Amino acid sequence: SADIRDDLVEVLFTEAQIQERIGEMAAEISRDYEGKDLVIVGVLRGAVMVMADLSRALHRHVEMDWMAVSSYGSGTKSSGVVRILKDLDADISGRHVLIVDEIIDTGLTLSWLTSNLSSRGPASVEIATLLRKPEALQMPIEAKYVGWDIPNEFVVGYGLDYRERYRNLRDIGTLAPSVYS
């Protein structure tokens, strides 16, 4: 179809539900970091949408920075090895850091990123993720702010892609089987 919304077989979270939940997460974050210098770090590329919406829901000063990471070579994510494609511009030493991503799947990305950023002497490092798949977790990882736990299903939209498509869907959902064939 010409309209990518028609490729969803099920909508898990609508645009309105996502915005409401992000508002709640932002309120919690605002309370927790009141009076503190805060840097939010978006994990390219999936976190672009949640960074844009969460940052604007904060209604306070916040520095926005970005990292891009990748699994090594052709190795699968479960190899546990990550390399930095784009590092922070900011020096986070002595500052409060909140890593923002749209999903924790195996947990490898954020587990590695948390320990990497923690080694730079920040005042604190926490994680905010819109989605988490508890059944898929392979790494111990503590996310302080979680939008929703979801079943271990492949989801797209709101930053989440299938072969670099569907990131620009406003809703989050599952793809019709016909899309894969």
Residues catalogued as catalytic: 105
- Quote the least distance from Cβ 106 to ligand PRP, whole Å: 3
Q: Is 104 in the site for ligand PRP (CB under 6 A)?
A: yes
**What is the rounded distance in angstroms from the CA atom of residue 147 to the CA atom of residue 102?**
9
Residue 7 binds which of ligand PRP, Mg ion, none (CB < 5-8 A, kind-dependent): none
The CA distances from residue 147 to 28, 30, 50, 81, 108, in Å, are 12, 15, 11, 27, 19
Q: Which residue has the tokens 């954020």?
A: 110
- Shortest distance, CB of residue 49 to ligand PRP, whole angstroms? 11
- The one segment of 2-10, 83-91, 107-115, 173-181 that binds ligand PRP by CB under 6 A: 107-115
To Mg ion, the closest distance from the beta carbon of 43 in angstroms equals 5
We find the least distance from the C-beta atom of residue 64 to Mg ion, in angstroms, to be: 16
Judged by CB under 6 A, the number of residues near ligand PRP is: 15
Instruction: Choose among 88, 143, 84: nearest CA to 120.
Output: 88
Number of chain positions touching Mg ion (CB under 5 A): 2
The smaller minimum CB distance to Mg ion, of residues 22 and 160, is found at 160
Q: Considering only CA atoms, which of 178, 176, 179 is closest in space to residue 8?
A: 176
Residue placing its CB nearer to Mg ion in the complex, 104 or 175 = 104
Tokens of 33: 């970091």
Q: Are 6 and 114 in contact (CB under 8 A)?
A: no
Work out whether the CA dihedral 38, 32, 46, 83 comes out positive or negative: positive
| Interface pick for ligand PRP out of 109, 158, 172, 173 (rule CB under 6 A) | 109
Residues 134-173 that bind ligand PRP (CB under 6 A): 161
Closest CA to 157 of 149, 142, 141, 168: 168
Q: Which of 13, 33, 95, 101 binds ligand PRP (CB under 6 A)?
A: 101
Residue carrying structure tokens 């009141």: 34
| Contact status, residue 129 vs residue 145, Cβ threshold 8 Å | yes
Residues lying near ligand PRP in the complex (CB under 6 A): 43-46, 77, 101-109, 161
